[in-house]
Amino acid sequence: MADDRKPEIAGSIIGLKQGSEEQYFILHRNTFPGVLERIRKSNITEFSIFYHNNHLFSHQVYTGNDYEADMQAIASDAVTQDWWKLTDPLQSPLEDRKPGEWWALAEPIFSLESEKGRIENISRFAYRAELISHDVEFPAAELKAIIDTHGLMEEITCLHVFRKGSGIYIYTKAFDHNSTDYLLDLLDQKRSFLTEFHPMKEVFYTNSGGKSSEEMSKVFVTGCFDLLHSGHIAFLQEASSFGEVHVCIGSDANVQQLKGRYPVNSQVERKYMLEALSCVKECRINSGWGIIDFEKELEAIAPDIFIVNEDGHTPAKQQLCHELGIEYRVLKRIPYGQLPIRSTTTLRTECSIPFRIDLAGGWLDQPFVSKYHPGPVITISIEPTLEFNERSGMASSTRRKAIELWRTNIPHGDREKLARLLFSYENPPGTPEIAGSQDSLGIVMPGLNRLDYDGDYWPSSITSVHDEEILKWIEDHLFLVTLGPRTSTYRVLSETQITTEGAKDLANATHDCWNAILRKNIHDFGNAFRRSFEAQVAMFPNMTDDAIKEIILNYEDKAAGWKLSGAGGGGYLILVAQKPIPDAIKIKIRRKNSL
């Protein structure tokens, strides 16, 4: 007879000692196989641990018949005891836990699962908030009404709410974060009894589902993996905690087409090195072309989970996984131990030369535009904290010229004179298409800069802002979503429609953008930011296409404004938003005092 007994859901809370975060995360990326096997044998089919601000929240699903006996089997297991000797010293049990508890059991106060609740390959999210008082009750009836009114269980397949003291913990499984974010936005309106919900980071997950260790989930990872370094190893080790890792790498020809250069190590050598790693099951060379070059390999491997790091995330990958029913996960760059954060870009040059983002007014630095109407370009100088893609509107070609000139650092001296030197070096006599001077100025000039153009290649005036509050405000409200590099066949200068009215619209929007930034007005900043982009596209329609427009639609309800980096055609979708955009890239602006 089939066992139709409902699984038991439990949530538990414990503290994490200050300064122990990194060690705890690393341990859980490399959980002892015997620990995972004991969890499986004890009928815990799903087990997650989430972290926020020195709080750990665990969520488990138990499907056995004798909970006490299964938990005693875990406690008596020698491998698990060795594991606890490593993790227990990092934890800080709650003072109000019951006798005999290490993790304090939380009270379940709300639970809801749709008919889709047992579907695999969906994402897990957890959030934490505080009731304003221990005496306040969580309004479960209001929560149910909100869910029913807005039909949220179509996308949220399960929702469990737990309480410990004044702490409220929400666990959800959903096809993506959008519906969960919307639900929390509605709950945030109930601030009379509840503080703001904070997302928690999942630091451990195992899903045995009754599988033996020989039937692990398949994890799919793709990338270039040139100049293999410790950052790659940490990422692959973390990916292996979700299952057996299948790595698919870009071919030499496709890397050249996307990045404008061949990899240092050939595809054969990259494959050999990756398959030598104990955390990698196999490595294949992608047979496709472009940013989504792995479709045939994805179909052949049929993975359970597709894992990327934060700068490898793209909406196209996420959408493909959604269509195929594959769980999609974005991992943060967390180095091993005390090792530095590594990327192939930093290894290639160990270079501190910044990138550039044009916030508004791009194209006015070209005389063939500003001759119709003068106007400013607004730029910020960006620290090379991530491996920003080539040909993606971040002034990477100008940056390469700066590296040729200065190797690893911009020299001391007059910033404008150095920018003129770089501009001249990039555009020697006879250059058919002159790169705009906003690229060299945006790289060399730290902070926020307004460059005013009036029909010439060099701006008539430069206004720089180094106010820390303004720079931090920009960093807090600017988010990048990776679209993938422009292809080598991209031609933005064909089919242009440059007019006096168009140049004027671009200049006016950029003026408004500058003023909104100085006033730190997010609504006006987003509005002017978007208008500047729309004015660009009106004159250079090839900057965008139907696929990019579709991606923008997915963010319209989350962002106050948007544009594409540089000349468009791919690169990065840059968003202005009041609240953080999940899985988007945060930027760090180069400060004047860091020179």
Domains: count for the chain: 3
pLDDT tens digits along 33-56: 889 889 989 999 889 999 998 999
What's 254's domain CATH number?
3.40.50.620
User: Which pLDDT value is given to residue 511?
Assistant: 98
**Structure tokens, 478:** 């600017």
Judgement on whether residues 291 and 393 belong to the same structural domain of the protein: no
Q: Which of 345, 365, 390 is the last residue of a domain?
A: 345
User: Which pLDDT value is given to residue 349?
Assistant: 46
User: Which pLDDT value is given to residue 213?
Assistant: 41
User: Which pLDDT value is given to residue 335?
Assistant: 59
Judgement on whether residues 468 and 501 belong to the same structural domain of the protein: yes
CA–CA gap between residue 228 and residue 43 (Å, rounded): 39
Residue of 205, 222, 213, 203 whose CA lies nearest to 321: 222
How far is Cα of residue 422 from the mean position of the Cα atoms in its chain?
Answer: 32
Judgement on whether residues 67 and 195 belong to the same structural domain of the protein: yes
User: Which pLDDT value is given to residue 134?
Assistant: 74
Q: Which of 190, 207, 224 is the last residue of a domain?
A: 207
Judgement on whether residues 236 and 254 belong to the same structural domain of the protein: yes
Q: Which residue has the higher pLDDT, 412 or 346?
A: 412
The reply to whether 350 falls in a domain is no
What's 104's domain CATH number?
3.30.70.1090
The reply to whether 426 falls in a domain is yes
Q: CB under 8 Å to 109, separation ≥6 — which residues? A: 138, 140, 161, 162, 163
Judgement on whether residues 246 and 189 belong to the same structural domain of the protein: no
The reply to whether 1 falls in a domain is no
Phi, psi at 321, each rounded to 5°:
-65, -40
User: Which pLDDT value is given to residue 94?
Assistant: 94
Judgement on whether residues 487 and 429 belong to the same structural domain of the protein: yes
Judgement on whether residues 182 and 327 belong to the same structural domain of the protein: no
Q: Residue 70: which pLDDT band, with cuts at 50, 70 and 90? A: very high
Judgement on whether residues 34 and 101 belong to the same structural domain of the protein: yes
The reply to whether 101 falls in a domain is yes
The reply to whether 150 falls in a domain is yes
User: Which pLDDT value is given to residue 3?
Assistant: 46
Helix (H), strand (E), coil (C) string for 346-390: HHHHCCCCCEEEEEECCCCCCHHHHCCCCEEEEEEEECCCCCCCC
Judgement on whether residues 573 and 436 belong to the same structural domain of the protein: yes
The reply to whether 267 falls in a domain is yes
The reply to whether 458 falls in a domain is yes
How many residues would you count in the chain?
595
Judgement on whether residues 238 and 198 belong to the same structural domain of the protein: no
The residue segments making up the domain with residue 406 are 355-594
User: Which pLDDT value is given to residue 212?
Assistant: 41
User: Which pLDDT value is given to residue 60?
Assistant: 94
Q: Which of 207, 228, 243 is the last residue of a domain?
A: 207
Judgement on whether residues 189 and 318 belong to the same structural domain of the protein: no
Judgement on whether residues 60 and 105 belong to the same structural domain of the protein: yes
% of the chain beyond a pLDDT of 70: 90
Whether the predicted pLDDT of 398 surpasses 90: yes
What's 448's domain CATH number?
3.30.70.890
pLDDT tens digits along 355-390: 999 999 999 999 999 999 999 999 999 998 876 777
The reply to whether 97 falls in a domain is yes
pLDDT tens digits along 179-192: 677 777 777 665 56
Q: Residue 338: which pLDDT band, with cuts at 50, 70 and 90? A: low
